[in-house]
Amino acid sequence: MQSSNVVPMSAQTARFLLLGRLGFFGLLLLQPLWILYLAPPELGNPLVLLALLWVPLWFPLYGIIKGHAYTLAWANFVVMIYFLHSLTHLWVSDGVRQLLALTELLLASLMFIGCTYYARNRGRELGLKIPKLKDDPRR
């Protein structure tokens, strides 16, 4: 019989993973709905905007599905696009676009918080850590 090397995940870590996934899949669904159906751009080709806003979400998809802590950590760089997009629309838009921007900001915040704390907690559970500069023997 083979022994499993799987490190169990705490309930709190699992909740952060769920939160990060909820925000991520919400953004993945919101972008094409917003751009193609709910409030298409008034100028330009909506497919270009969709490519710019939707394609970056596909890069961390596999790691988020699998729950890879490293992927969820760097996915926070991707989510900054949606923070900026939503905050810009909150500032300059009104009506339905402002409501969509508020939804995008909420989903981006959920993803950011979930991914950040999942990566931190899961890294600790797996025994991974970034050494502090003061503890580096090469200094």
Percent of the chain topping pLDDT 70? 90
pLDDT digits (tens, 9 = 90+) for 6-32: 889 999 999 999 999 999 999 999 999
Q: Is the pTM of this model over 0.75?
A: yes
CA angle (74 as vertex; 103, 136 as ends), nearest 5 = 140
Are 46 and 36 in contact, with CB atoms under 8 Å apart?
Answer: yes
Q: Considering only CA atoms, give the Rg of the chain.
A: 18
- Residue 135: inside a domain: no
Q: Is the pLDDT confidence value at 1 over 50?
A: no
In the chain, what's the furthest Cα-to-Cα distance? 63
Query: What total of structural domains would you count in the chain?
Result: 1
- Residue 137: inside a domain: no
Look up the domain containing 66 and give its range.
11-127
- The per-residue pLDDT of the chain, averaged, comes to 91
Q: Per this entry, what is the length of the chain?
A: 139
- Residue 4: inside a domain: no
- Residue 133: inside a domain: no
What is the predicted pLDDT for the residue at 54?
Answer: 95
Q: What is the DSSP string of 39-67?
A: S--SSS-HHHHHHHHHHHHHTTHHHHHHT
